[in-house]
């Protein structure tokens, strides 16, 4: 039972990341950093989904999970984190700049 709940929570995390992709996609063209955030959420979803999938097939002996697969998943997760931090920093910087512009009026 505990293993099933753990699997469900892991895949739910992937769905939440895909929700981030959808939200960012709705703001493409209107917010300058939405594309970077979308890339970050997308890479996170791919990386986490790949880790979950490779772990599942390795546990069930369907085939030997390759180290290259886990390496690629780790790389996707790392690049996703980098894109999310850059997107958040850019968005916050833009918001602060816009707020300062309205205060000076």
Cα angle: 48, vertex 54, 55; to 5 degrees: 90
- Report CA torsion sign: 49, 54, 59, 60: positive
Task: Determine the distance from the C-alpha atom of residue 33 to the mean position of all C-alpha atoms in its chain, rounded to a whole number.
Answer: 15
Residue with tokens 């959808």: 22
Can you give the pTM of this predicted structure?
0.86
pLDDT tens digits, one per residue of 72-102:
999 999 999 999 999 999 999 999 998 887 8
Over its C-alpha atoms, the chain yields an Rg (Å, rounded) of 18
Count helices and strands in the chain by DSSP H and E runs = 3, 0
Tokens of 9: 């929570």
Measured CA to CA, the distance from residue 51 to residue 7 in angstroms comes to: 11
pLDDT at residue 105 is higher than 70: no
């Amino acid at each position: 039972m505990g293993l099933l709940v753990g699997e469900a929570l892991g895949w739910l995390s992937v769905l939440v990341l895909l929700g981030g992709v959808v939200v960012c996609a709705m703001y493409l063209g209107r917010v300058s950093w939405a594309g970077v955030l979308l890339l970050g959420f997308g890479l996170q979803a791919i990386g986490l989904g790949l880790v979950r999938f490779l772990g599942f097939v390795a546990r069930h002996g369907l085939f030997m999970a390759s180290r290259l697969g886990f390496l690629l998943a780790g790389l996707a997760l790392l690049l996703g984190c980098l894109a999310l931090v850059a997107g958040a920093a850019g968005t916050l910087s833009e918001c602060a700049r816009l707020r300062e512009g309205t205060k000076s009026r």
